[in-house]
Amino acid sequence: MRETVITRDMVANPKTAYGNKKASTRHFITQRLTGAINIAFLVLLLFVVVRLAGQDRLDMVAVLGNGWIGLPLAVLLVIVAIHMRNGMRDVLEDYFAGSLYRLLMLLNTLFCILVAVAGVAALLKLVFWG
């Protein structure tokens, strides 16, 4: 696969197209949408944190085991993982290129999937099996 060198003239010319336009637009929309959803879920997260402050494990299991709390938190974990992956993608794009970038993006994606699966599995266990 051949790397394209982006020159100053290419950047200065607004008619120059480089990169995948659809993927970039999808990334932009996903990042903004997940950020907005995270802000909306902030109220629920603050409620849970304040409710569990100073409580013991039994109270935590009771609160997080409630389907009205645990299931939205599981959805929030997935959305946060997507947002985290996209944010790290922006950082990796700035500092790495080529095969090293692809390797780091693979590791980033695997880490985000691992975090989401572990968190969702823990919350689903609390909701459905106590």
pLDDT tens-digit series, residues 36-64 = 999 999 999 999 999 999 999 999 999 99
pLDDT in tens, 69-127: 999 999 999 999 999 999 999 999 889 988 999 999 999 999 999 999 999 999 999 99
Domain coverage including residue 74: 8-129
Tell whether 2 is covered by a domain.
no
Whether 73 and 123 have beta carbons less than 8 Å apart is answered as yes
Q: Is residue 1's pLDDT more than 60?
A: no
For residue 79, give the nearest of 36, 118, 34, 46 by alpha carbon: 34
C-alpha span between 39 and 128 (Å, rounded): 27
**Could you give the number of structural domains in the chain?**
1
The pLDDT, as a whole number, for residue 71 is 95
C-alpha span between 28 and 74 (Å, rounded): 24
C-alpha span between 69 and 60 (Å, rounded): 11
DSSP letter assigned to residue 5: P
The pLDDT, as a whole number, for residue 50 is 94
Helices (H), the chain: 8-12, 21-52, 57-64, 67-95, 98-129
Tell whether 109 is covered by a domain.
yes
Amino acid identity of residue 68, one-letter, is W
Q: CATH no. for residue 45?
A: 1.20.1300.10
Whether 61 and 126 have beta carbons less than 8 Å apart is answered as yes
Tell whether 3 is covered by a domain.
no
Whether 76 and 45 have beta carbons less than 8 Å apart is answered as yes
Tell whether 33 is covered by a domain.
yes
The pLDDT, as a whole number, for residue 39 is 94
Tell whether 20 is covered by a domain.
yes
Tell whether 32 is covered by a domain.
yes
First to last CA, the chain: 51
Tell whether 54 is covered by a domain.
yes
